[in-house]
Structure 1
Amino acid sequence: MHTSRGYLNDPNGPVELEGTTHLYFQSRPYPHKDVPVEWGHASTTDLINWRLHRPAMSPLPGARDADGCWSGNALVDGSEVHAYYSGKTAGDTYQSVLRAVSTDGGASFGPPRQVLADPLPDEQVTMFRDPFVYREDDALTMMVGAARADGSGAIRRYRSTDGISWAYTGDVAGRVRGIVGGEDTGEGWECPQILPTDAGEIALISSWSFADGVGHVLSFPVGGDAPVVPVPQRVDHGTSFYAASVMREHSSGSPVLWGWIREARSTVAWQDAGWAGAISLPRTAWCAADGSLRTAPHPAVDALRIDTGRPADGARIDGRAEIVVPEGGGAVRIDFGADEYCTIDIDPDAGIVTLDRSHAAGVDPLDGSRSVAPDAFDASGRPAVRIFVDGSILEIFTSAGRSVTSRVYPRSAPEWTVHAPAGAVLFDIRRSIEAESTR
């Protein structure tokens, strides 16, 4: 999902109210980062057909969010929706944790109230933002992402009985920046989320560093009162998945996960295009035996298909399609035009799936051309690989729950040609935005 103009990034605060799911997201009406952030708003009754609305929250002059309503989450409380988020005020050291209340079914939020004091100087906190609030044991728990002066990222935990007065109860986890299992753990942890699974609770963080900016979404098990020094593992093995947002409870019976699909083109390119950023397909998630978080398209995604499928090899697509390789190996190649293509190599013997974008136009070289998903296959009964193509977006899922999310920017307009192994099936899929509001 993306808007037709402006800058979109982190998904925020997904909630379900009276059968309707509301998803908020970081939004700017123009594709320039100096425009203050507001909370965009989309809603759906089936996780697939989305309706865009007017922004649900905008910076309030003179308030603690005067220069931006940044990331957070939301809770349903009776007929109200309570948003917890980071408010930015120019010149302040931290983004303050604020609460705003919607009394109109999540369509708009009232003025903010700061509910958590900013860290004190002796706490040696250098970054503090992105509250995640959920109910636990008849009270509320809040997680806030942080960076510390010793170069470590951390998740700070708070407890409350009324959602307004909060007590710090210690860090859930923390780790000095380093390379663990080939992944940079970052010196700050943005967008902390706690996802319940059958194997216990999993924390998701988005690694971030002052000099290098955003990294990747990492996960690790948490539990108990003592803070853990985690061994974080990558959630998505592409280059464009960041700022995951979790809806812990949903009427479909399982938690739902979304992420921000970042751009891989230059700033000049997306500013000239007039838009940037997208929200991923909804995903289900589970914990594998090695403690890593795995994801798959939510079952609702099947409703995007508009036909019964046809052989994928040699098929022509109009820019949107799902390509399913039920089993076995080989390569899926999407030809965009003369000497312009990308390849997804499926290697069951090595247990890997590789996306090669080295012949795709428009990708910033700094974004990297190859992405590899390890330990990609299992005997779950899921297809070996499902590939979703939506314009510049590629979302790839494997049977073992590995995913690769990346971008390509073909110079050649559709139709494009698919080459695939025998037995691969192609489904045409539809756009999932029903209508867009006026501002």
Structure 2
Amino acid sequence: MPALPNDHHAPHFHVRSVDGYVNDPNGPVHYRGVFHLYFQQVFDTPRTGPVHWGHATSSDLVTWTLHRPALTPSPGTPDEGGCWSGNTVPADDRLYAFYSAFDPANPFQPVRRAESADGFEFTGSVPMVDPPDASESPVQFRDPFVWWHHGRWCMIVGAGLAGDDADGGALGQARLYESSDLTRWSYVGPFASRRRTGEGTDHDTGMMWECPQYAALGEWGVLLVGAWDSHQGITHVLAISGRDQADRLADPGPAVRADQGPNFYAPSVMRDPSGRVLVWGWVTEGRETVASVEADWSGMLTLPRVLTVTGAGEPRWHPPAELAALRDGAVGCVEGPLEDGSSVDVVDVVDVPAQFELDLALTASGTDRDATRVRLVTSGADGAGEPEHLDLLVDWRAGTVAVDRDLASRDPRSHRGTFTITDAVAAAGDEDAEETGAQGRASVRFRLLVDGSVGELFAADQTLTFRFYPQSPPPWTLRVTPGAGGPVDGRVTVWRLRRSVR
């Protein structure tokens, strides 16, 4: 794993199939003492074949074993075009998979259910629910999510309804159905809906909602949806919080991005045996399709992340404690104070692998200072002698942590951009200060896990998922420049991370 063993862009601890195309995670579940993780898989990167459900299992959420596909299309049936997004639920000593049967000519993908005795093979596919009536002006319908909710089984399905002059723009919707037996379903009504806003922006709510997922957290509920557009296709994942009720998400708040990066989509939710809500996503490519076809692989799943809410119901994201088991020894550490104007290599150039974790915790005397930069520098240089590099920037004044990948690759097929986590700088050591700044000390803490060509950044209870493709293979150099404005104290540690998917 993957198809090209010498490809330094390939992941070692993110789940994906051995080769071909991977996208949406589907139905993670803890069943009979084992974590099962399913995902959409096409056997060739140009995607000439139908979608199957790939399959991996784990006992600890870290080490994963790949298996043959668990759900396969059946010729001559409604799912012969592919078994697309959905989820799984255990009931009556069986595991049930709910999914969309793909037909390229039908915008209303039939919702179907298959079942398994062991979680390794699903069979017996049968139809479940019908699309919206034509009187509602539906334009899209797909992606079931089933869960036990307020004493009965519930299913939400993503949909989009056309707007008109009276109603305004298109309507993204999660439609609610209920059942007592996972077989006969009745339509209840919209679980949540929102007219499209922010069209074409980073906060576009989409013309339809796909891959809807839901988690009840105490009195609060969090709905995750993929904002989809008929021209642009996938955009980003939105989180909408409200009061958890039996038939709807009540008093919904603003739609906020679930991930601040450009390469996170198609969330998939499970509740683990301890009650935590875990979420996986699809790590999109961040490069042109021709580059993925040339590499003969595309896509992977994110690491699991823990979803919680604040007392006001605002979603928060955290790395699960289990990820520490990926560490295979610290390869370097720099401890402050780092002096104004200095530049310090965390480890020697021979020691930074393509799989590593960066753990940074820094404190400054205040925020009226220049940015602190952590730069990942490759060993290669372009014609002008400038090496490829990825920058992480702590902007003390703005209170942000940013990822700048504009110069991370000399390959013009690799995507560029700068992406930001806000509210990342906190007040430290001055309880009387009214705000972060020169009145008191300021601190920042983040963790970055890099796996070949993917980075997952955790900071200030937020996440940022991005891809980058340096042409020069490791070893790389990690360099810290504190910036002008006085010394920066703290610690920067780099850990080597092990291969964990086989």
TM bucket, shorter chain: over 0.9
Taking the aligned partners of 1:57 and 1:112, their CA distance within structure 2 comes to 10
Instruction: Please list the CA deviations of residues 170-223 of structure 1 after superposition, one character each: whole Å capped at 9, or x if unmatched.
Output: 112111211199511111111111122245111011111001111111101133
Which segment drifts farther, 355-364 or 367-376?
Answer: 355-364
Taking the aligned partners of 1:205 and 1:335, their CA distance within structure 2 comes to 36
Contact 2:277–2:308 at 8 Å: present in 1 too? no
Residue 171 (structure 1) aligns with = 190
Residue 17 (structure 1) aligns with = 31
* Structure 2 unaligned residues grouped into runs of 5+: 1-13, 164-169, 335-344, 364-370, 382-386, 429-442, 483-489
Residue 305 (structure 1) aligns with = 327
Which segment drifts farther, 416-425 or 356-365?
Answer: 356-365
Based on CA coordinates, which of the two structures has the bigger radius of gyration? Answer: 2
Residue 419 (structure 1) shift: 1.2
Structure 2 SS opposite 1:270: helix
RMSD: 2.3
Q: Which amino acid aligns with 2:278?
A: V
Instruction: Please list the CA deviations of residues 12-47 of structure 1 after superposition, one character each: whole Å capped at 9, or x if unmatched.
Output: 001101220000001001102332111000000000
Residue 367 (structure 1) shift: 4.5
Taking the aligned partners of 2:149 and 2:193, their CA distance within structure 1 comes to 22
Residue 376 (structure 2) aligns with = 334
Q: Could you say if the C-alpha distance between residues 75 and 296 of structure 1 is closer, same or farther in structure 2, counting changes exceeding 3 Å?
A: same
Contact 2:424–2:444 at 8 Å: present in 1 too? no
Contact 1:218–1:233 at 8 Å: present in 2 too? yes
Q: Which of residues 260, 266, 272 in structure 2 aligns to 1:250?
A: 272
Residue 112 (structure 2) aligns with = 98
Residue 413 (structure 1) shift: 0.8
Instruction: Please list the CA deviations of residues 40-71 of structure 1 after superposition, one character each: whole Å capped at 9, or x if unmatched.
Output: 00000000000000000111011111101000
Taking the aligned partners of 2:104 and 2:58, their CA distance within structure 1 comes to 35
Aligned pairs (5 A) from 1:357-376: 357-361=405-409, 367-376=415-424
Residue 57 (structure 1) aligns with = 71
Q: Which amino acid aligns with 1:143?
A: I
Matched, 1:218 2:238: yes
Residue 178 (structure 2) aligns with = 159
Residue 426 (structure 1) aligns with = 494
Q: Which amino acid aligns with 1:403?
A: T
Q: Which of residues 32, 40, 65 in structure 1 aligns to 2:46?
A: 32
Q: Which of residues 262, 274, 278 in structure 2 aligns to 1:239?
A: 262
Which segment drifts farther, 146-155 or 365-374?
Answer: 365-374
Q: Could you say if the C-alpha distance between residues 66 and 110 of structure 1 is closer, same or farther in structure 2, counting changes exceeding 3 Å?
A: same
Residue 350 (structure 1) aligns with = 398
* Structure 1 unaligned residues grouped into runs of 5+: none
Taking the aligned partners of 1:279 and 1:94, their CA distance within structure 2 comes to 26
Which segment drifts farther, 322-331 or 134-143?
Answer: 322-331
Structure 1 SS opposite 2:73: coil
Q: Which amino acid aligns with 2:361?
A: P
Residue 118 (structure 1) shift: 2.5
Residue 394 (structure 1) aligns with = 455
Matched, 1:384 2:398: no
Tell me the TM-score normalized by structure 1: 0.93
Taking the aligned partners of 1:49 and 1:326, their CA distance within structure 2 comes to 28
Contact 2:145–2:155 at 8 Å: present in 1 too? yes
Taking the aligned partners of 1:176 and 1:411, their CA distance within structure 2 comes to 43
Residue 91 (structure 1) shift: 2.6
Contact 2:20–2:43 at 8 Å: present in 1 too? yes
Residue 230 (structure 1) shift: 4.8
Residue 291 (structure 1) shift: 4.3
Contact 1:139–1:159 at 8 Å: present in 2 too? yes
Over the matched positions of the two proteins, sequence identity in percent amounts to: 36
Residue 373 (structure 1) shift: 1.0
